[in-house]
Structure 1
Amino acid sequence: MAKKKALNTYQRLELQYPDYLTAVEALGTAVRHAGPLEEKVVQLIQLGAAAAIRSEGAVHSHARRALEAGATKEQIHHTLIALTSTIGFPTVVAAISWADDVMDK
């Protein structure tokens, strides 16, 4: 008998609060389409913000989304190392490690 894979937090929230998640996703779509920036640039900006707040899950998400939008591994790494003087070397190294979790799959 196949073992069921456990739901991640996002999936559980989606099941428990579908209207809430629909609204959050609609906000994200509106933000991405509010101006002239390309999707790849928006995702790299959000990746930098995720690193700044030390959110491993958000770094995973935005690294994956940046790749899907056409960013290269080098662009993702450059986005993160560009933050060194702002968020500090240890935080940048952690964020690179989290981004690599996604890129090395």
Structure 2
Amino acid sequence: MSRQELPEHYLFAKKTHQTFIAAVEDLGKALRQQGPLDEKTANLIQLAAAVAIHSEGAVHSHIRRAVDSGASADEVYHAIVLLTSTVGFPTVSAALSWAGDLMRAP
């Protein structure tokens, strides 16, 4: 999995709305640099937030980013299942399905 596998709709937005997408990307970089969390941890936190808001695209994106920053499949799946008591089994089940789009279950 790599950044080269970005979804077509994102690449289209990046091409047609260059200034907007650059600003969003720059904001993400600035926020990650503001604190003591390492890249992998930050990506796993953002993955959890994506799960909580039921955003399949963001779940895919943050799984890619987490893996690119060194997270194992076990860590990704653990980050998702940890949310069960907070966001509920149906939401976690959907997120596990979305994770399965990108990686095989351990």
Q: TM-score, normalised by structure 1?
A: 0.89
Deviation (angstroms), 1:99? 1.2
Deviation (angstroms), 1:16? 1.4
Q: Which runs of 5+ in 1 are unaligned?
A: 1-6
Please say which structure displays the higher CA radius of gyration: 1
Q: Is the 8 A contact 1:64 1:103 kept in 2?
A: no
Task: Give the alignment's Cα RMSD to 1 decimal.
Answer: 1.1
- Residue of structure 2 in register with 1:40 after alignment: 40
Local SS of the residue matching 2:74: helix
Q: Is the 8 A contact 1:51 1:80 kept in 2?
A: yes
Q: TM-score, normalised by structure 2?
A: 0.88
Deviates more, 1:7-16 or 1:92-101: 7-16
Q: Which runs of 5+ in 2 are unaligned?
A: 1-6
Residues 10-32 of structure 1: per-residue CA shift (max 9 Å, x gap): 11211211000110000010011
- Residue of structure 2 in register with 1:16 after alignment: 16
Q: Number of residue pairs matched?
A: 98
Q: Distance in 2 between the 1:96 and 1:70 partners?
A: 19
Deviation (angstroms), 1:84? 0.5
* 1:98 partner amino acid: W
Q: Is the 8 A contact 1:14 1:21 kept in 2?
A: yes
Show structure 1 runs of 4+ deviating over 6 A: none
- Residue of structure 1 in register with 2:63 after alignment: 63
Q: Distance in 1 between the 2:103 and 2:67 partners?
A: 8
Residues 40-88 of structure 1: per-residue CA shift (max 9 Å, x gap): 0000000000000010011001011101111111111111111001111
- Residue of structure 1 in register with 2:26 after alignment: 26
| Amino-acid identity (%) | 52
Q: Is the 8 A contact 1:77 1:96 kept in 2?
A: yes
* 1:8 partner amino acid: E
